[in-house]
Amino acid sequence: MAPQKVQTKRLPVTDPLDGAPIQLDQPGYYEGFSTLSQQAYWDDATRKVVLQRMTAAHPILFFTPAEAATMAAVLDRILPQEDRTAARRIALLPPLDDRLFHNRIEGYRYEDMPSDQDAYRQAAKAFEQMAQTACGRSFHELETMEQETLLQSLHAEKPTAPEDAWKGINIKRFWALLVSDCCSAYYAHPWAWDEIGFGGPAYPRGYMRLEEGQPEPWEVDEQRYQWAAPADTLTDTPASEQTGEKVQSQAGQGGTH
């Protein structure tokens, strides 16, 4: 097969002059693909669950307003969405808040971790302390780069924080929990499915083109283009091909076998 065409007209995602992100309704390489347009082919129960996920109002009940502001800023850095237009951003905090409020846990807690609720409360406080210590401002008021530097230090398990801010929390496990919660919220949304070219719910209609990555009649072919993340970020790293030998699965992964 021919190599993938690079669509130069959509290069780059950030404006070459001022570095501001060019916002799209649907980032990703599947222009025009919409899982929601196929909802007549879903079963009732699934349609109800997915549509409710998109429309239901989620008042913040678990986090206090201050914690919510901090955590919203943190989640925005774990899965940034500046390339999405404001109306097409996927809310990450409400599903997390809802989960904690209704105590929907993954079925376990690590011996060296407090409950998810306690961990997030303490973390919200710790992020705020880190921001105040390092920059003298609230976490959600910091520049993107400042926020990412703080998060990077946590990711490296050496948080630039007052001594006891993370006491009692296994940072490696908390980081995995945090990223996992963000992924659960973001990639449960039909807009995210459109972005990555995932077919979405598939019952009663299943798939017929099983091999060679062929799209179904209602799916679209990939149209790759090159893009660059906004200039002020640390996280657009290709990440070295590491074996992850010591990286144990922290969260109950979606049970792949």
Among positions 158-177, residues that touch another protein (CB under 8 A) are: 176
Contact 126, 175 (CB under 8 A): no
Query: How many CB atoms sit inside 10 A of residue 164's CB?
Result: 10
For residue 191, the Cα-to-chain-centroid distance in whole angstroms is 12
> At closest approach, how far in Å is the CB of 65 from another protein?
25
How many chain residues are in contact with another protein, going by CB under 8 A? 90
11 lines the binding site for another protein (CB under 8 A): no
Check binding of 211 to another protein (CB under 8 A). yes
Q: Minimum CB separation from another protein for residue 212, in Å? A: 7
Find the largest Cα–Cα distance for the chain.
57
47 contact partners, CB below 8 Å, separation of at least 6: 39, 201
Based on CB atoms, which residue is closest to another protein, 13 or 69? 13
Position 111 contacts another protein (CB under 8 A) = yes
Binder among 23, 26, 80, 134 for another protein (CB under 8 A):
80
Q: Which of 59, 60, 40, 63 is nearest to 50 (CA)?
A: 40
Distances (CA, A) of 80 to 8, 72, 87: 24, 11, 15
Tokens at residue 134, please? 């390092």
Of 17, 40, 56, 87, which lies in the binding site for another protein, with binding defined by CB under 8 A? 40
Taking the C-alpha atoms of residue 227 and residue 230, their distance in angstroms, rounded to an integer, is 10
Residue 55 is a binding residue for another protein (CB under 8 A) = no
Is 5 a binding residue for another protein by CB under 8 A? The answer is no
Q: Verify binding: residue 239, another protein, rule CB under 8 A.
A: yes
Tell me if 202 contacts another protein by CB under 8 A: yes
Which of 16, 32, 136, 254 binds another protein (CB under 8 A)? It is 254
Which one of the spans 109-117, 119-127, 132-140, 160-168 is the region binding another protein (CB under 8 A)? 109-117
Dist. CA 109–CA 252, nearest whole Å: 10
Applying CB under 8 A, does 183 fall inside the site for another protein?
A: yes
